[in-house]
């Protein structure tokens, strides 16, 4: 078995396609070598050896030793130095490298091969004892930390690790000598420090630091394999879903030195700016430095070139001005690497006495804005196709542009006080208030407020609207607060169980922290984290971003799925159109009744005791509804609008306090007791499964009649004015074809009546929301009459699993933690179960009605993985809240590309 792959002298055994075997770092070192780029020679021990190591009681394959020795020979030839040689020794680095980069998770040991025998030789050769002892102290520190402590399984207390202890020794020494920077230390100083280091290591860890080059090398190799199963690596893999079987590779490579003097340096760079995406070479470097010095923060790194200097770095010397030839060479490599890899690269380099060496290249991480700019630029530079450009950007990166966000740097140093579910994305900063009325009043005074509630209800909506962000102690991702906030694109965190809210004192306790009314908090609704104090908020303005607009126009050309929005006001509809919505997929009519003026009519209707009374109460609502529909249909002219008939359990409208009971009794001219009795009689044990949906319209046909009339009168009115409106009437919560047919007759009758009355004809369709398993199972029967289906996947998920979406806060977090569920099924569609019902309903429905229009209008309509599912199952459209529309458009394009035949 070939376990070792050599690279050096412009030829490598491996290449970039062999990441599984050689790890990302090793594969790319091989690729760069093959491209003729100067890479210090070395070799990669494969990930298969790592697997072997763990399957065979932490031992190596028999001939590994032989293969390693042979490869070292080749490295020696390429670098013209010998490992362990007294006069001119080769030094090596041992570097980990998994398939997927796991930044900071695994280990590197530099300067292997420095021993009491080799040190004098290098000093004589370089005439630079400072450099040699600086390198030696680094070796001792890394080796003690990585090999002697971590890989030996020693777990010191936080801040007591050997690296920390050695750093303390160094700092103390610098203080005594009044040195400001590492640069001030002489060779003699470093020598003294290495002696101190070795003594401390022996005292703390019990063993000697090895003085044999091969012992150092094998110690390093083993430690890297060992680090694959270190605590940090395991938990990182769990978060990132990286399988444990993958293993890591080990790269052994000739050392080159950035710390031999002022003509030497080390640096890291991105081939384009990773924060903005602009096509500028962007990086940092340090003179006379090695390894992680640039990122370690001990010295201030310098800017790579003049163009990227900032006010903070204006006085620092750039590589471009200090070593112009080398900078040009590096810039050429930058261009070659981008041409070759066709993506932005993150590179590491070292300059030794005026010679440039490349030490690493990989695809660079970037912000959402940068990802979009880079993708669009690269398409326009003809480096990649439009399809590739679209696939390069993740829907989450699109989302980053749609909401104001907390300043990333400030957020890092802010104090976390609580964590909850990330229900509404973006950032929110404000002063804490506890009631919707306070939220509204404070906002009117120009204050920015965060509304904190146990949970929210429809009656809190005015305060929620006034608030910058919403924070609740209870509820899941589809709780009232979450739905409303997402609909507005507002920052929201729900299910924040650590909050102990005391409404009487207007304060929250979170463990030991007390937050009072008026205190400032900052929230990251994309991550679900609450911070104490004020973090700066950066505004969102996607449409001003040319790259965003261009990328989205490509996506729109490629996608097959249409994208609609869930909206129930002209304002939301306008917002959604601005975001690219092509219609309304769900207009919830009940939201229109929470207005204080209308809710009285609604209550009268609900509490009415005879049909006659009810009919007259309902008819009071007609003008309001008609006006609503005129507004929405007009805004959406030329686009389809699906209007759902009244859906929620009636008791939601009659949770009354004493004053409201009294008012209502006066209005209806009955006793308060009578009102209370009637409310009591409407009580349901499980309202989610109670008298709601089409069951209301069947029991009280006058409700359906009124709503249908409002829709059709609005339609007739607008058609009469020459405005093209396309209403689609949707009957909710249908479980049987008979339920649907019952409502259909009523609706069609009203349509005919209105047409006759207004002497005008118009087009409309009637369909149903599919949100019960029985509806899916009998979709063919329902489709005999229904002209469209819209999957209400919130309720369908609830009824398929048999758990209430308002109560999942109790067990879902535990399920996710224990990996019983990998995702919240209310957020990302459960393809295996709920998805199967949907597929079945699509097939059955279209088997009797070929052109059955099918969409989805649950929260899943804006979830990229669910959008992909809808594409695969041949749905016509997805519908989601206005702020998710761009994400759905983009996800639909990615699905179309992914499943193109």
Q: Which active-site residues does the annotation give?
A: 480, 857
Whether the Cβ atoms of residue 858 and residue 543 lie closer than 8 Å to each other: no
Q: What is the pairing mode between strands 421-424 and 537-538?
A: unpaired
Distance CA 795, CA 773 (A): 10
Region from 144-152, 248-256, 270-278, 420-428 binding ligand ADP, contact rule CB under 6 A: 248-256
Q: Judged by CB under 6 A, does residue 467 bind ligand ADP? A: no
Q: Judged by CB under 5 A, does residue 590 bind Mg ion? A: no
Residue where the block lists tokens 């058609």: 719
How would you list the strands of the sheet with 248-254, edge to edge? 11-12, 4-8, 42-45, 248-254, 92-98, 108-112
Closest to ligand ADP by CB, 111 vs 526, is: 111
Q: Which of 42, 463, 792, 845 binds Mg ion (CB under 5 A)?
A: 792
Phi/psi for 428 (5° steps) reads -145, 135
The residue of the chain with the least Cβ separation from ligand ADP equals 95
Q: Judged by CB under 6 A, does residue 291 bind ligand ADP? A: yes
Taking phi over 0 as left and psi of -120 to 50 as alpha, with beta for the rest, 203 belongs to: alpha
Q: Which of 182, 348, 568, 781 binds ligand ADP (CB under 6 A)?
A: 348
Residue 605 has a CB neighbour count (10 Å cut-off) of: 24
Distance CA 777, CA 768 (A): 14
Q: State the nearest-atom distance from the C-beta of 76 to ligand ADP, in Å.
A: 14
Q: Which of Mg ion, ligand ADP, none is residue 795 near (CB under 5 to 8 Å by kind)?
A: Mg ion
Region from 234-242, 249-257, 442-450, 709-717 binding ligand ADP, contact rule CB under 6 A: 249-257
Region from 252-260, 323-331, 679-687, 846-854 binding ligand ADP, contact rule CB under 6 A: 252-260
Q: Judged by CB under 6 A, does residue 436 bind ligand ADP? A: no
Closest to Mg ion by CB, 14 vs 792, is: 792
Q: Which of 194, 360, 625, 743 binds Mg ion (CB under 5 A)?
A: 360
Coil, strand or helix at 256: coil
Q: Which residues pair with 849 in a beta bridge?
A: none
DSSP H helices in 772-811: 773-777, 779-783, 793-801
Q: Judged by CB under 5 A, does residue 475 bind Mg ion? A: no
Q: Which of ligand ADP, Mg ion, none is residue 305 near (CB under 5 to 8 Å by kind)?
A: none
Q: Which of 88, 292, 388, 595 binds ligand ADP (CB under 6 A)?
A: 292
Q: Which of 33, 129, 350, 881 binds ligand ADP (CB under 6 A)?
A: 350
Q: Which of 26, 40, 213, 422 binds ligand ADP (CB under 6 A)?
A: 40
Q: State the nearest-atom distance from the C-beta of 107 to Mg ion, in Å.
A: 12
Distance CA 161, CA 154 (A): 9
Q: Judged by CB under 6 A, does residue 499 bind ligand ADP? A: no
Distance CA 655, CA 72 (A): 80
Closest to Mg ion by CB, 304 vs 450, is: 304
Structure tokens at 752: 């005919």
Whether the Cβ atoms of residue 860 and residue 793 lie closer than 8 Å to each other: yes
Q: Residue 746 has what DSSP assignment?
A: H
Q: State the nearest-atom distance from the C-beta of 638 to ligand ADP, in Å.
A: 55
Query: For residue 777, which of 842, 699, 711 has the smallest C-alpha distance?
Result: 842
Q: Judged by CB under 5 A, does residue 248 bind Mg ion? A: no
Distances in Å between the Cα of 218 and the Cα atoms of 5, 176, 222, 225 are 17, 37, 6, 11
Closest to Mg ion by CB, 542 vs 693, is: 693
Q: Which of Mg ion, ligand ADP, none is residue 602 near (CB under 5 to 8 Å by kind)?
A: none
Region from 182-190, 251-259, 412-420, 577-585 binding ligand ADP, contact rule CB under 6 A: 251-259
Q: Which of Mg ion, ligand ADP, none is residue 162 near (CB under 5 to 8 Å by kind)?
A: none
Query: For residue 853, which of 774, 764, 777, 793 has the smallest C-alpha distance?
Result: 764
Q: State the nearest-atom distance from the C-beta of 291 to ligand ADP, in Å.
A: 4
Q: Judged by CB under 6 A, does residue 3 bind ligand ADP? A: no
Q: Judged by CB under 5 A, does residue 795 bind Mg ion? A: yes
Q: Judged by CB under 6 A, does residue 44 bind ligand ADP? A: no
Q: Which residues pair with 96 in a beta bridge?
A: 250
Q: Which of residues 126-165 bind Mg ion (CB under 5 A)?
A: none
508-537 exposure pattern, b = at least 16 Cβ within 10 A, e = fewer: bebeeeebebebbbbbbbbebbbbbeebeb
Q: Judged by CB under 6 A, does residue 407 bind ligand ADP? A: no
Q: Judged by CB under 6 A, does residue 705 bind ligand ADP? A: no
Distance CA 148, CA 222 (A): 11
Region from 181-189, 250-258, 684-692, 694-702 binding ligand ADP, contact rule CB under 6 A: 250-258
x-marked contacts with ligand ADP along 74-93 as a string, rule CB under 6 A: -------------------x
Q: Which of 3, 108, 361, 715 binds ligand ADP (CB under 6 A)?
A: 108
Coil, strand or helix at 82: strand
Closest to ligand ADP by CB, 78 vs 417, is: 78
The length of the chain in residues reads 901
Q: What is the pairing mode between strands 427-433 and 405-406?
A: unpaired
Q: Which residues pair with 363 in a beta bridge?
A: 345
Structure tokens at 470: 């919403």
- Give contact residues for Mg ion (rule: CB under 5 A): 360, 771, 792, 795
Where does this chain bind ligand ADP (CB under 6 A)? 40, 93, 95, 108, 110, 253-256, 266, 291-292, 348, 350, 359-360
């Amino acid at each position: 078995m070939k376990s070792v792959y050599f690279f050096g002298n412009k030829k490598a055994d491996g290449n970039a396609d062999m990441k599984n075997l050689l790890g990302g770092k090793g594969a790319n070192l091989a690729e760069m070598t093959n491209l003729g780029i100067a890479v210090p020679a070395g070799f990669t021990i494969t990930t298969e050896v790592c697997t072997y190591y763990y399957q065979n009681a932490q031992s190596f394959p028999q001939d590994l030793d032989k293969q390693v020795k042979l490869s070292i020979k080749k490295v020696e030839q390429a670098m013209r130095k010998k490992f362990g040689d007294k006069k001119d020794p080769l030094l090596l680095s041992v570097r980990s490298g998994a398939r997927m980069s796991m930044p900071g998770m695994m280990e590197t040991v530099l300067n292997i091969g420095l021993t009491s025998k080799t040190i004098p030789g290098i000093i004589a050769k370089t005439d630079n004892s400072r450099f040699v002892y600086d390198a030696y102290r680094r070796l001792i520190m890394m080796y003690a930390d990585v090999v002697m402590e971590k890989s030996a399984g020693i777990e010191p207390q936080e801040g007591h690790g050997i690296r920390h202890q050695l750093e303390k020794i160094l700092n103390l020494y610098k203080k005594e000598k009044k040195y400001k920077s590492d640069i001030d230390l002489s060779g003699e100083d470093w020598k003294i420090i290495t002696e101190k280091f070795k003594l401390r290591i022996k005292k703390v860890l019990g063993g000697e630091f090895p003085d044999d080059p091969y012992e150092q090398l094998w110690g390093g190799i083993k430690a890297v394999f060992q680090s694959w199963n270190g605590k940090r690596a395991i938990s990182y893999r769990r978060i990132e879903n990286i399988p444990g079987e993958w293993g890591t590779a080990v790269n052994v490579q000739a050392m080159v030195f950035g710390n031999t003097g002022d003509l030497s340096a080390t640096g890291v760079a991105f081939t384009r700016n990773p924060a903005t995406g602009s096509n500028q070479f962007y990086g940092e470097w340090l003179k006379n430095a090695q390894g992680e010095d640039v990122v370690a923060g001990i010295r201030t790194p310098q800017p790579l070139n003049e163009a990227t200097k900032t006010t903070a770095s204006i006085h620092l010397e750039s590589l471009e001005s200090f070593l112009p030839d080398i900078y040009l060479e590096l810039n050429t490599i930058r261009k070659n690497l981008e041409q070759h890899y066709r993506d932005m690269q993150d590179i590491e380099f070292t300059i030794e006495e005026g010679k440039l060496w490349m030490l690493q290249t990989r695809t660079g991480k970037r912000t959402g804005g940068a990802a979009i700019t880079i993708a669009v630029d690269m398409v326009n530079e003809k480096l990649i196709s439009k399809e590739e450009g679209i696939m390069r950007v993740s829907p989450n990166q699109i989302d980053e542009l749609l909401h104001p966000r907390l300043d990333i740097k400030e957020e890092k140093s802010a104090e976390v006080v609580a964590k909850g579910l990330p229900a509404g994305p973006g950032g929110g900063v404000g002063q804490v208030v506890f009631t919707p009325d306070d939220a509204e009043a404070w906002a009117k005074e120009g204050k920015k407020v965060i509304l904190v509630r146990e949970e929210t209800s429809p009656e809190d909506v005015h305060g929620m609207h006034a608030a910058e962000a919403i924070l609740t102690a209870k509820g899941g991702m589809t709780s009232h607060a979450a739905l409303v906030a997402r609909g507005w694109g507002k920052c929201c965190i729900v299910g924040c169980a650590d909050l102990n809210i005391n409404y009487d004192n207007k304060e929250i306790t979170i463990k030991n922290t007390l937050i009072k009314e008026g205190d400032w908090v900052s929230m990251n609704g994309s991550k679900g984290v609450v911070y104490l104090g004020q973090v700066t908020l950066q505004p969102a303005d996607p449409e001003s971003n040319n790259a965003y607009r261009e990328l989205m126009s490509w996506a729109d050309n490629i996608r097959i799925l249409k994208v609609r929005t869930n909206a129930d006001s002209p304002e939301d509809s306008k917002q959604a159109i601005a975001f690219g919505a092509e219609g309304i997929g769900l207009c919830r009519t009940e939201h229109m009744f929470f207005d204080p003026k209308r809710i009285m009519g609604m209550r009268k209707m609900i509490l009415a005791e005879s049909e006659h009374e009810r009919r007259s109460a309902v008819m009071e609502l007609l003008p309001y509804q008609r006006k609503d529909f005129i507004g929405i249909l007009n805004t959406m002219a030329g686009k389809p609008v699906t209007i759902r008939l009244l859906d929620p359990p009636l008791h939601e409208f009659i949770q009354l306090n004493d004053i409201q009971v009294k008012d209502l009794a006066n209005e209806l001219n009955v006793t308060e007791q009578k009102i209370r009795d009637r409310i009591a009689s409407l009580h349901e044990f499980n309202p989610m499964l109670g008298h709601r949906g089409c069951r209301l319209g069947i029991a009280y046909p006058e409700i359906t009649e009124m709503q249908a009339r409002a829709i059709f009168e609005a339609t007739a009115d607008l058609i009469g004015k020459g405005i093209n409106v396309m209403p689609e009437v949707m009957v909710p919560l249908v479980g049987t074809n008979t339920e649907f047919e019952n409502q259909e007759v009523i609706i069609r009758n009203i349509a005919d009546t209105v047409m006759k009355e207004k002497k005008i004809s118009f087009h409309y369709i009637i369909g149903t929301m599919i949100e019960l398993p029985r509806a899916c199972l009998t979709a063919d029967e329902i489709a005999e009459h229904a002209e469209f289906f819209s999957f209400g996947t919130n309720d369908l998920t609830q009824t398929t699993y048999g758990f209430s979406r308002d109560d999942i806060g109790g067990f879902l977090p535990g399920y996710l933690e224990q990996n019983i569920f990998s995702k919240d099924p209310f957020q990302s569609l459960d393809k295996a179960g709920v998805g199967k019902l949907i597929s079945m309903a699509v097939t059955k429905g279209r088997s009797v009605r070929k052109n059955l229009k099918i969409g989805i209008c649950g929260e899943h309509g804006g979830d990229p993985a669910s959008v992909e599912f809808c594409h695969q199952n041949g749905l016509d459209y997805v519908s989601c809240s206005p702020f998710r529309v761009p994400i759905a458009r983009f996800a639909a394009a990615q699905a179309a590309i992914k499943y193109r035949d």
